Structure 1
Amino acid sequence: MYKAGETVRYWGVKTGGLTWLSAEALIGKIIGQQREERIYKIEGQSGAIYDVPENLIDGGSEVKAG
């Protein structure tokens, strides 16, 4: 489980019921979560907010943004 404010790598996002995968890791900050669905709200480096399933999140405190 990840904590709010933690910087993580993620490999895709969920939008409109579909999961979009990325060939390269993206970096963002956890800003919230939906526990029952195991989905985290992540603010990407562009400032956009994404829903990311827990199984697409990698890393934790060792991830450095920028």
Structure 2
Amino acid sequence: METPAPEQPNTPLMSKERFAQLTGVGEEVVRGWINKGYIPTMKIGRYPLINMEVLRRMCLEAEDWE
């Protein structure tokens, strides 16, 4: 799922390699999640980067923290 341009210029982004390291899953798993739209990305140049702010919001909404 590609997200539109960030609303703020300081949108936290992360490479799929770093995301895989931090979550303890393989890069192929992360790539699959991206391809299926489970993880929001935005393209910078050629490469999709994980949009951590949108992912955070998605997680909070899914868990109904309110």
Common fold: TM-score over 0.5: no
Point out the structure with the larger helix share.
2
TM-score (norm 2): 0.33
TM-score (norm 1): 0.33
Q: Whose radius of gyration is greater, 1 or 2?
A: 2
Point out the structure with the larger strand share.
1
